[in-house]
Amino acid sequence: MAEELPDSPDLSNQRVAGYRIIHRLGRGGMADVYLAFQENLHRHVAMKVLRRDFVDSADHQQRFLQEARHAAALVHPNIVQVFDIGHANGIHYIAQEYIPGNTLGAFIEKQKCLGLRESLSILIQAASALHRAAQEGVVHRDIKPENILLTSEGVAKVADFGLARARSNENHLTAIGVAMGTPLYMSPEQIQGTAVDQRSDLYSLGVTAYHMLAGSPPFTGETALALAMQHLQNPPPALRQKRPGLPDALYELIDRLLAKQPADRPDDAASVLRSLRDIASKLEGNWHGDSLIPLTELEVQGAVERSAPAVLLQTTLAQQKIALRNRRWKTLGIAMGSILTATGLFALFSLNSSQGLVPEPEWKVELVERKPTVREQFFHAMVQGNVAQWKAVETYFPPEQSDAFLSYNLKAWLQLARVAIAQKDFDLAQQTLDKILTREEVDPRILVLALLEKMQLDLEYNQMDQLARDRSEARRYFLSLDTQQQQWITQQIPPHLLSYWEDRNNTSG
């Protein structure tokens, strides 16, 4: 179990040196991260604030400053950019680019394993970021899916150079009470506490690549020590067995990245970048992997995370609408207070601008930004993952207008149905699945996945005869697929449906 971080004051709604702090986004070993608004430039930023328990430590202040300086030197489209550093009123902060998408880690959790082109694109972008860092003599030291952010436009950005250090005489700073790296992705030399260079980052990139393609990292364990020993001693399970059908050159590259000895790995990120682009260029269509994350298999594969979507700050317009509703609640509170004063209940409705009722999230399509292309709109929805985002695909790019729009809408409807089922909105799920199942010439993979979702609705309504019919129809499309497609569809079946899927007799009672 992860050690609980000491509590620190919440700085939400405060102003710090020209920044209006909105709310806390997360917590780390040395700093809390907030969403803030830079008032003079009218932009949102992610503000890292040194935790109060470290403020009195000169060593931690120096490390925090070093992090900012190293990261600020790394100007690259695939690196989260640092804008500003400073301190005011006892608060030490770093203001950096705010990425309102999601992490690769959360993306993998939703998709289970990624398509070949998607994985290559992300790896190429991450390797490009590491190449730029190496040019400045910076080793990241904590490459992992949670530190690779995916924007709504399909760009991968490496974040959090909090463990980074330059190849200099500042080595003493790396020992200041901060765990160096994450055990699931840590290189053997990091585990042993020996000197590291960019080949350590390449090992972690190899673990990340394996995780993307296999759906799980090469090593797992109940304790950090158990994980560490596997990185030191055990060869990783063959990726070829876990994910057959990939280019031989990619298997070989990942094997080299995961070599125990740094000397057996590629020399640098530049050589890895060349190898990845060479692999990409040999795929159908002479694709070189330099475009945005392309979305091919990813559009169909993978189950949406079956939990309520996180409330995300969408746009300034959304904030204004919420603020307006707060003012309406305040007005209502005052009015009700006038009525209830005689009964002594006024205090229950005493509202003010800083302590009003918290509004429920608004999943309205009009609050979703319209993207220039249907592909970008779909990716935006894939990253954000809520009802309004999926509905926006159809609203902004109606399926009747082109075959390309229809293709993306079919996949968006499938994802929307899954979100609706997770939220117990079965009417929305049924209506959405009907849009897929009543269309002609639909990809059989989508039909199978849609019918699996329909089987879940049948179970909810205890319609076992209908479940048997839907299962039979799904099996018919399933048997028309090749073996590899059947394998990944089988992996998508929720555990509670497996018995119904595998044995038709179970559908009779």
β-pairing, 43-50 vs 91-97, is antiparallel
What are the chain's domains? 15-97 (3.30.200.20), 102-168+180-299 (1.10.510.10), 315-367 (no CATH), 369-508 (1.25.40)
CB 144 within 8 A of CB 208: yes
Residue 85 pairs with which residues in a beta bridge?
Answer: 94
102 φ, ψ to 5°?
A: -145, 170
Structure tokens at 412: 């968006």
Burial of 73 (0-12, 13-18, 19+ CB in 10 A): middle
Q: Cα separation of 403 and 497, whole Å?
A: 33
Q: Cα separation of 312 and 301, whole Å?
A: 24
Tally Cβ neighbours within 10 Å of residue 186: 24
Tally Cβ neighbours within 10 Å of residue 249: 13
**Along the 509 residues of the chain, how does pLDDT read in single tens digits?**
344 445 667 888 888 888 999 888 877 666 788 899 998 888 889 888 887 666 656 666 667 777 677 777 788 999 998 888 888 888 888 898 888 778 899 888 877 788 888 899 999 999 999 999 998 888 988 899 999 998 877 789 998 875 455 444 333 333 333 334 578 899 999 988 888 899 999 999 999 999 999 999 999 888 888 888 999 999 999 999 999 989 999 999 999 999 999 999 999 999 999 999 999 988 876 666 655 565 544 443 333 332 223 323 333 333 443 344 444 444 444 444 433 333 332 222 222 323 333 333 445 766 788 888 888 888 878 777 788 889 999 999 999 998 889 988 998 999 899 889 988 999 999 999 999 999 888 888 889 999 999 999 999 999 999 999 999 999 999 999 888 778 778 867 877 888 888 764 444 44
**3-class DSSP state for residue 150?**
strand
CB 420 within 8 A of CB 453: no
User: What is the residue whose two structure tokens read 């200099």?
Assistant: 168
The residues annotated as belonging to the active site are 142
In this prediction the pTM is 0.65
Q: Rounded to 10 degrees, what is the CA torsion of 245, 246, 252, 253? A: -170
Q: Cα separation of 293 and 289, whole Å?
A: 8
**3-class DSSP state for residue 72?**
helix
Q: Cα separation of 161 and 143, whole Å?
A: 9
